[in-house]
């Protein structure tokens, strides 16, 4: 299985390319939705890695995909500037996905 990287930050994208990962650099929601449509239907892609700002372009679409589909795995990472998420991001994710407050 292959990994695919979607970034809004050029430096982060270059770093992942240097590590040998295929991916794209984009900034618009329409571009993101088109790339996600193509990548999620590719059986060779096992992991999709997105930067936080990319997820912010279409958070409901990405969350819905994470909940409804087992593969490919979608992983959100900070860009080279660090995270913009709060300290309780994991707790919020569990609450939104499962409906359990911990």
Three-class secondary structure assignment of 44-69? CEEEEEEEHHHHHHCHHHHHHHHHHC
Domain range 2-98, CATH architecture: 3-Layer(aba) Sandwich (3.40)
Nearest CA-CA partner of 77 in 46, 45, 54, 58? 54
53-86, pLDDT tens digit by residue?
888 888 899 888 888 888 899 988 876 655 555 5
- Domain spans in the chain, listed from the N-terminal domain onward: 2-98
Please state the pTM of the whole predicted model.
0.74
> 53: exposed, middle or buried (C-beta count within 10 Å: 0-12, 13-18, 19+)?
middle
pLDDT tens-digit readout, 31-45: 999 999 999 889 999
pLDDT of residue 5: 92
For residue 86, what pLDDT is reported? 57
pLDDT, tens only, 15-33: 888 988 899 999 999 999 9
Integer CA distances (angstroms), 4 to 13, 19, 61, 69, 93, in order: 11, 12, 18, 17, 22
């Amino acid at each position: 299985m292959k990994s695919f990287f979607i970034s809004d930050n050029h430096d982060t994208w270059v770093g992942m390319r240097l590590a040998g990962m295929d991916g794209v650099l984009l900034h618009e929601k329409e571009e993101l939705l088109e790339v996600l449509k193509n990548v999620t239907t590719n059986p060779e892609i096992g992991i999709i890695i997105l930067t936080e700002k990319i997820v912010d372009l279409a958070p409901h679409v990405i969350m819905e995909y994470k909940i409804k589909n087992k593969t490919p795995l979608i992983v959100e990472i900070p860009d080279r500037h660090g995270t913009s998420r709060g300290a309780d991001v994991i707790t919020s994710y569990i609450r939104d996905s499962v409906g359990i407050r911990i």
